[in-house]
Amino acid sequence: AQKITQTQPGMFVQEKEAVTLDCTYDTSDQSYGLFWYKQPSSGEMIFLIYQGSYDEQNATEGRYSLNFQKARKSANLVISASQLGDSAMYFCAMREKRGYQKVTFGIGTKLQVIP
Amino acid sequence: DTGVSQDPRHKITKRGQNVTFRCDPISEHNRLYWYRQTLGQGPEFLTYFQNEAQLEKSRLLSDRFSAERPKGSFSTLEIQRTEQGDSAMYLCASSSRPYDDEQFFGPGTRLTVL
């Protein structure tokens, strides 16, 4: 089974609108971390936001928020007030088990912001 | 400010040749990671160093691949007898804390094997 599933290969959003990028994960661990990264066309991976499995509140970082629904094993990224510079690939990722460093990435969602 | 740097940025080689990539992490980061990313996929974990110790290796890291971090600073990833399937972006990342932290990625080395 896929550890990280991103079912939206591509998304369009109007500038200044909000957009939700979906991510579901599969783990039997109680302790894990969830990440979102942005990869512009330049290729560099840029960290956006982190959510720990024991965190009770949804993580927020500026215009980014992570809608964490533990029972449904989903960790959707919400980008508010989209900007043209948000056009990029977005990857959801998970680290399982404290003490292990392996991070598993999804296949990504390509977001295009329309002026 | 010096982020994670990788050299070279691009490498074209012929099948069967050996290649070596270098990664210089952020200076105070003692954790270093290598990932491989093929077209249309997310990065795949290859290996992890804490200081000079290689603590975790993926099964993706065949015996043709070797990684080192001799003094706990920069790291090298060598691929021997390259194959066309090795063509990918090789990403290096570093971090300073063991858990709940972001990994800072370098710009990557794009390898093309002809």
Please write the tens of the pLDDT for every residue from A90-110: 999 998 865 567 789 999 999
Dump pLDDT digits (tens) for A5-53: 999 999 999 999 999 999 999 998 888 899 999 999 988 899 999 999 9
**A43 vs B76 pLDDT, higher one:** B76
Q: Report residue B31 CA to chain centroid gap.
A: 12
Could you tell me the CA-to-CA distances from B74 to A49, A95, B7, B32, B107 in Å, in that order?
27, 24, 11, 9, 15
User: Which stretches of chain B sit within 8 Å of chain A by CB?
Assistant: 31, 33, 40-45, 48, 55-56, 58, 89, 91, 93, 98-108, 110
| Contact between A50 and B101 using a beta-carbon 8 Å cutoff | yes
When the pLDDT of each residue in chain B is averaged and rounded to a whole number, the result is 91
The partner residue sitting opposite A101, judged by closest CB among B41, B48, B106, is B48
Interface of A with B in 20-79 (CB under 8 A): 33, 35, 37, 42-47, 50, 52
Number of cross-chain residue pairs from A and B with Cβ atoms under 8 Å apart: 58
